[in-house]
Amino acid sequence: MKKWHIVVTGLFIMVCLTVSPAFAGKYNQQTHQAQSQLKALGYQPGPADGMMGQKTRNAVKQFQGDHGLPKTGTIDDRTMQKMQTASQKKGMSSTMEQQGHQAASATGGAAKSSPNAYKAQKRLKALGYQPGPADGKMGQKTKKAVKRFQRDHGLPETGNLDDRTMQKMQTAPQKKGQTGANSPQGDERQQPRRPKG
């Protein structure tokens, strides 16, 4: 019986090493760091596992294109330097953004703009939600649209643009006949018209 247990365990380990990239792939500290920074900057590199997969490569290309670098998809020294600079700037702007949100809440004024809010507003509009203007500001219309999206997709209705919400927005299928330019106007999603009777 012990012999059979050893054989089964050995086969299980071989299957895991063969099938799972987490076991079979090669971990790279620089890739892990880049994935973490890309995620913090609002890109979608997939899990921060130190493995250079297609999602990470695509996120690196997008970052490179956004920052005037050749879109190679590889993490070279120039790309890492740009990521570190962008992360430092975002760290400073995140602190300022939080202060802006707090000040806006206290005074009832508009919040500072954010890249995630801008991306979410454009995507929400394309999906048929009405977040208001794509100005990067988390105003009341945007928060209401985010909450409706979260409710419709089984997410906690916080109105915040957390990682799960942003990921779900990117993968949510666009409704038939909905395009960013042709999406309904107003604060609510378009309701079906009832025949006049």
pLDDT digits (tens, 9 = 90+) for 30-80: 898 899 889 888 889 999 898 999 999 999 999 898 888 999 999 998 999
The number of residues making up the chain comes to 197
pLDDT digits (tens, 9 = 90+) for 99-118: 344 434 443 444 556 778 88
Stretch 20-25: mean pLDDT: 46
Q: 74: closest CA among 100, 56, 92, 99?
A: 56
Q: How far apart are CA 52 and CA 125, in angstroms?
A: 32
Task: Match domain 112-188 to its CATH number in 2.120.10.30, 3.40.50.150, 1.20.140.10, 1.10.101.10.
Answer: 1.10.101.10
Locus of tokens 């996120």: 59
Whether residue 130 contacts residue 189, with contact meaning beta carbons closer than 8 Å, is answered with yes
pLDDT digits (tens, 9 = 90+) for 125-155: 999 999 998 888 888 999 999 999 999 999 8
Q: Look at residue 109 in the predicted model and tell me its pLDDT.
A: 45
DSSP 173: P
What are the sequence ranges of the domains in the chain?
25-86, 112-188
- Tell me the one-letter amino acid at 40: A
pLDDT averaged over the chain? 74
The residue ranking higher by pLDDT, 91 or 37, is: 37
Can you name the CATH fold of 25-86? Muramoyl-pentapeptide Carboxypeptidase; domain 1 (1.10.101)
Give residue 1's Cα distance to chain centre: 50
Residue 8 has pLDDT above 80, yes or no: no
Residue 183 has pLDDT above 50, yes or no: no
Q: Is-same-fold flag (25-86; 112-188)?
A: yes
- Tell me the one-letter amino acid at 147: K
Q: pTM surpassing 0.75? A: no
Give residue 165's Cα distance to chain centre: 7
CB burial of 6-19 (b: ≥16 within 10 Å; e: otherwise) equals eeeeeeeeeeeeee
